[in-house]
Amino acid sequence: MSERGRPAAAGGGIGRAARGLLALPPGAARVLALGWLVLIFLSSEVPARGGGGTRLTAFVLNLGHAALYGVLAALALAGLPRAARTPITATARWAVVAAVTACGLLDEVHQRLVPGRDFSVLDLVTDAVGAAAAVGLLAHLQRPAGAGADAASGAGLWARVAVAILAAAAAAAAATFLPDSWPRTDWL
């Protein structure tokens, strides 16, 4: 229970933020998603600086892909037209993950044209992991009470957050360290 005698919201701040995002008018969420996508593409326009970065810096930058595309997926999901308080269907969730991953693909192709940047399949995988993680977390928060043992509970949410973070970290680690194993392969 909260201090005011009401049930505590599952997931605390994350749960409240996610529910607030899903409560946005779909038109506003679509505008925010488009603005976020523009910011992603503009950040891809910045030419890479030659060397000098540490492995930790490279890992953090690669991990940023998951966060950027996770936010894009969350905004896109919130922008879907739906009746009030109606959960978003699994088909719609998969369509959002696919569309956001397609945006990641276009961004990787775009980066190929920017001096010092390149196309990376592993960055694209990190983008997809971020999108899937965000959509999965939001889907969990939309579950009605009683829909499973941990439906939208704090423990169930935090377990999913941990899995999402581990998956994003694994994808970022692959994008950071695997290309060294194949130095003549420029698409990893």
Amino acid at 21: L
Does the predicted model carry a pTM greater than 0.75? yes
Confidence band, pLDDT 50/70/90 cuts, at residue 183 = confident
Confidence band, pLDDT 50/70/90 cuts, at residue 142 = confident
Determine how many CB atoms are found less than 10 A away from the CB of residue 115: 7
**Would you state the pLDDT for residue 157?**
80
Task: Please give the Cα distance from 73 to 75 (Å, whole number).
Answer: 5
**Would you state the pLDDT for residue 145?**
59
User: Which range is least confidently modeled, 22-36, 90-104, 127-141, 171-185?
Assistant: 171-185
**What does the pLDDT average to over 171-182?**
88
As given in the structure block, the two tokens for residue 38 are 């523009």
Contact 127, 101 (CB under 8 A): yes
Question: Closest Cα partner for 64 from 119, 111, 129, 17?
Answer: 129
**Per-residue pLDDT for 6 more than 90?**
no
User: Which range is least confidently modeled, 12-21, 114-123, 129-138?
Assistant: 12-21
**Would you state the pLDDT for residue 7?**
37
User: Which range is least confidently modeled, 30-44, 48-62, 110-124, 140-154?
Assistant: 140-154
DSSP 45-62: TSPPPPS---HHHHHHHH
Alpha-carbon dihedral angle through residues 170, 150, 72, 111, given to the nearest 10 degrees: 10
DSSP 128-180: HHHHHHHHHHHHHHTSPTTSSTTTT-HHHHHHHHHHHHHHHHHHHHHHHHGGG
Confidence band, pLDDT 50/70/90 cuts, at residue 2 = very low
Confidence band, pLDDT 50/70/90 cuts, at residue 81 = confident
**Per-residue pLDDT for 130 more than 90?**
yes
Residues above pLDDT 90, as percent of the chain: 50
User: Which range is least confidently modeled, 47-51, 123-127, 166-170?
Assistant: 47-51
